[in-house]
Structure formats: structure tokens, C-alpha cells
Amino acid sequence: MEVGSLTATLEEKQQPESAKPDSNKDAHQAADSKGAKPAPERKRARNLSEDRRFKLFSGTANRPLADEIARHIGVKVGDAKLQRFADGEVYFQLLDNVRGVDVFVVQPTCYPVDQHLVELLIMIDAMKRASAARITAVVPYYGYARQDRKDRPRVAISAKLIADLLTTAGANRALFVDLHAAQIQGFFNIPVDHMFSSPVLVSHFRELNLPNLTVVSPDAGGVERARHFAQKMGAPLAIVDKRRTDINVAEVMHVVGDVHGKTCLIIDDIIDTAGTLVKTVDALIASGAAAVHACASHAVLSGPAIDRIAASRLEQVVVTDTVPLREAAQKLPKIKVLSIAGLLAAAIENIHLETSVSTLFS
């Protein structure tokens, strides 16, 4: 059987030490010169390079994040071959021995979602059949998370379906970042570690020291997330009540809370088309906000999102690198990327060493 054109190869060389920034200052200067490139993040894991029972692998969805995680841990990404047949089918082969090994595979299910999901399932299956001792699916962005309940008749609960697929493929546990709905953890019959990007985002905005700050939830569903962020920042909370008048008709926004003369910081988990984000900004400005910033864990940025952000009155949008940014987004000065590689590396290390993950957020 012939294998079609090679679309992705998982074997890359590590960056030499001489090419790495020697300080946070150098890293920030490098990021500034290249636009919206992930900024360095402080947390560091211990070195696992001598542990023969630990291996880290990556799919094609976000290889730079996997490489950065590996650098924090002190290992290299495992060798594997990922190709596609002429009709697009995935072919995956492990080139490293994983028998009896604690394996971690990094693969966010971002665009193209179905392609990256199938890659992840096939990689897990290959690891299971290669007798890995334990397989942890590290999914920084969990696709289909927004379909977590039957909100209309005759619709699928896709978040549960994906949970079943990952378990059936052979995942023994899973690691996620900022699930759209925390109850998705209950869809799994395997252990789940739910990480939060808030330590990285809170640290960034504390350094900015925005004056007269008010944290804003863009809808009722995000109140818990925004309240936690507001407590960390020592700032008051406001909520935007979002109501749709009809199908495909613009939403009516009502701001609950005092934002007049305040610097507002909108907190969300996903920025997709940025429609809700931009309308929230307009509602806050109309209510007298002096300036509006925004932050989110997952910069999906589909369709017109980048143009909408560019044309909006947002001062800046801060996101993490759970999802790789499109080239147009990297060139937009309003978008700043923070890396969560160090946080994920510490979580992976704690899982491998059977120590507490929750201590990373205490």
C-alpha cells in the first residue's frame, strides 16, 4: 500500500541552547519584534530527561506548544511518523519504544477540528497497541465542548461523544485547559485534570496594573469564571446580560454593574467569531467605560473575528497559546499571546510523579 503525500512529520530537532533567550527581558524583546508571539511564562518543571518511563509526543495541531512543554520539562518530543494516504486517511507510526512507559500526547482539537481529533484517536490507539503503561491525552483546547447539553430538540451532546471516543481509543486519563463547561469532566469514566489559564493571565494583568479596573463577564454563563478572576485581581465584577430578540437578529445588551469611568476587562474562555466580544465592548463603551480590554484562554478566531477585533474599540486582547494563531492574527498588534507551556509542563510532571495538580493553583 502506497502512502500519499506527507503532510506532517512529528520529528523535529530541539532548538539549541545558544538560540534560547537568556532572560525574560530578551524573550519579551524577541516577542515584540515578531508581533503576537507567545510571551515567556514563569513556571518551570523539573528535569525528567533521565526518566526512561516518561515520554511526550505531539500531533500536528500545535507542535510549537508541545516543543515548549518539552523544553520546560527537559525532554525531547518523541519520534513518530504521521503521514496521510492519497484520500486523506491518517497513517501514524511510533518510532520510539513505549512499552511500559507513561505516555503523554499533546493535541488540541482546534481547526480543522475533525482532522486533529482523528489524529489524536489514532495516536492513542497506536500507543495502546504498543503496550504503553498509561496514556494521558493532553488536550489544551477541547473541541465540541460547546455542545454539552440538549438545549434544543433532537440535537447531539457532542462533548459526551468525544469523551467516549477518547476513552474507547485507549486514553487512561485526560488533561484539559479551561473547559467551556466544567461539568464535561463528568462525561469521562477516566480521571480528568482540569487546568486553568488564570494564573498566567492574572499575573500578566497584575503587571499591567490597569487603573480603576472592573472585571466583566460577557454573559451569565461566564459569571463564575469572571468572579474568580475578579477576586484574584481585587476588582469589582460587572455582567453583561445578553438577550436575542429573534433568530439571526442582533442581541440586546444590558450592563449589570457600574462601569462608568472604569477600565473594563472582559473575561471569556473562547473567542470564536468575536461577535459577542465586540458587542460587549460597544455596550460597555455606551455605558461610560473609559477603556476596554479582553482576555480569553482559546483564540479560535474563526471567520470575521480578526477584522472585527481590528475595527473594535478594544485596547488589547490577551490570549494563550492553547490554539495556534492564524498568520493574520499574529500580525494584529491588538492581540497578545501568553504561553501556558510552563503551567502544562508542571501539571504533566505532577501527574507522572503522582503528586497534586491542584497545588499549581493554590
- Tell which residue, 48, 97, 103, 40, has the closest CA to residue 75: 48
Whole-number Å distance between alpha carbons of 156 and 144: 10
The one-character DSSP state at 19 is G
**Residue 243 pLDDT class (50, 70, 90 cuts):** confident
The whole-number pLDDT of residue 161 equals 97
State pLDDT tens for residues 2-21.
444 434 444 443 444 444 44
The whole-number pLDDT of residue 253 equals 77
Counting Cα atoms < 13 Å in the Cβ hemisphere of 333 gives: 4
Whole-number Å distance between alpha carbons of 181 and 109: 16
Write the DSSP string, 116-163: HHHHHHHHHHHHHHTT-SEEEEEESS-TTTT--S--STT---HHHHHH
Place of cell 476587562: 265
State pLDDT tens for residues 73-123.
999 999 999 999 999 999 999 999 999 999 999 999 999 999 999 999 999
The whole-number pLDDT of residue 28 equals 47
The whole-number pLDDT of residue 47 equals 58
The SS3 assignment for 219 reads coil
Whether 29 shows a pLDDT value over 70: the answer reads no
Residues 277-299, mean pLDDT to the nearest whole number: 96
Residues 127-147, mean pLDDT to the nearest whole number: 96
Asked whether the whole model's pTM tops 0.85, one would answer no
Burial of 326 (0-12, 13-18, 19+ CB in 10 A): middle
Residues 268-278, mean pLDDT to the nearest whole number: 93
Whether 308 shows a pLDDT value over 60: the answer reads yes
The whole-number pLDDT of residue 38 equals 53
**Residue 178 pLDDT class (50, 70, 90 cuts):** very high
Whether 69 shows a pLDDT value over 90: the answer reads yes
Q: Which helix (H) or strand (E) holds 81?
A: strand 80-84
Whether 283 shows a pLDDT value over 50: the answer reads yes
- What is the percent of the chain with per-residue pLDDT over 70, rounded to a whole number? 84
Whether 304 shows a pLDDT value over 60: the answer reads yes
Counting every residue written for the chain, the total comes to 362
Whether 160 shows a pLDDT value over 70: the answer reads yes
Residues 58-86, mean pLDDT to the nearest whole number: 96
Could you tell me if 327 and 27 are in contact, meaning their C-beta atoms sit under 8 angstroms apart?
Answer: no
Residues 49-54, mean pLDDT to the nearest whole number: 79
Comparing 297 with 251, the larger pLDDT belongs to 297
Catalytic entry in 37, 81, 160, 242: 242
Distances (CA, A) of 47 to 50, 53, 348, 353, 355: 8, 13, 12, 12, 15
Place of cell 471567520: 303
217 Cβ contact list (under 8 Å, min separation 6): 223, 225, 226, 227, 237, 238, 239, 240, 266, 267
Whether 124 shows a pLDDT value over 60: the answer reads yes
How do beta strands 317-320 and 335-338 pair? parallel
The whole-number pLDDT of residue 141 equals 97
Mean pLDDT for all residues in the chain: 87
Whole-number Å distance between alpha carbons of 46 and 104: 16
**For residue 26, how far is the Cα from the chain centroid?**
25
Whether 154 shows a pLDDT value over 70: the answer reads yes
Stretch among 43-57, 283-297, 309-323, 348-362 having the lowest mean pLDDT: 43-57
The torsion angles phi and psi of 26, rounded to 5 degrees, stand at: -60, -40
Whole-number Å distance between alpha carbons of 54 and 144: 30
Comparing 42 with 74, the larger pLDDT belongs to 74
Q: 126: which 3 cell numbers?
A: 497506536
The whole-number pLDDT of residue 351 equals 96
Q: Which helix (H) or strand (E) holds 106?
A: strand 102-106
Residues 202-207, mean pLDDT to the nearest whole number: 95
Residues 65-73, mean pLDDT to the nearest whole number: 96
Query: Active-site residue 34, yes or no?
Result: no
Whole-number Å distance between alpha carbons of 174 and 168: 13
Comparing 361 with 121, the larger pLDDT belongs to 121
